[in-house]
Amino acid sequence: MELELLISRINLNYTCLKLQVSIEDIKTKHPNRTDLISSMEQSLHEIKKAMVVYDTLEKEFRVTRQINFDLQHINLELKQDVKDLKKIIEFNNAEL
């Protein structure tokens, strides 16, 4: 999962960079193509917004994963406590 997150982040950054370079290239070579430039700038803006959302979701994922790990650890400890208490009960019942 970590590798997939890293690859996704790299791909988003790379796409953003390619689009920025393309916009600058078109502005330089074809400044009269304002329709194309405007459309590409809008796409760049949308990709940057998507990157912000991706960052937020990635942080939330990491926090949730840590919480899940912590809860699994607590659950295992509680299961062990239950086993120990069952043994104590069995021992006490055997003494009666």
Q: What is the mean pLDDT of residues 25-29?
A: 96
- Average pLDDT estimate for 9-33: 95
Distance CA 44, CA 25 (A): 14
Q: What is the pLDDT of residue 1?
A: 80
Cβ(54)–Cβ(9) under 8 Å?
yes
DSSP characters over 16-82: HHHHHHHHHHHHHH-TT-HHHHHHHHHHHHHHHHHHHHHHHHHHHHHHHHHHHHHHHHHHHHHHHHH
Q: Could you read off the pLDDT of 42-88 as tens digits, one per residue?
A: 999 999 999 999 999 999 999 999 999 999 999 999 999 999 999 99
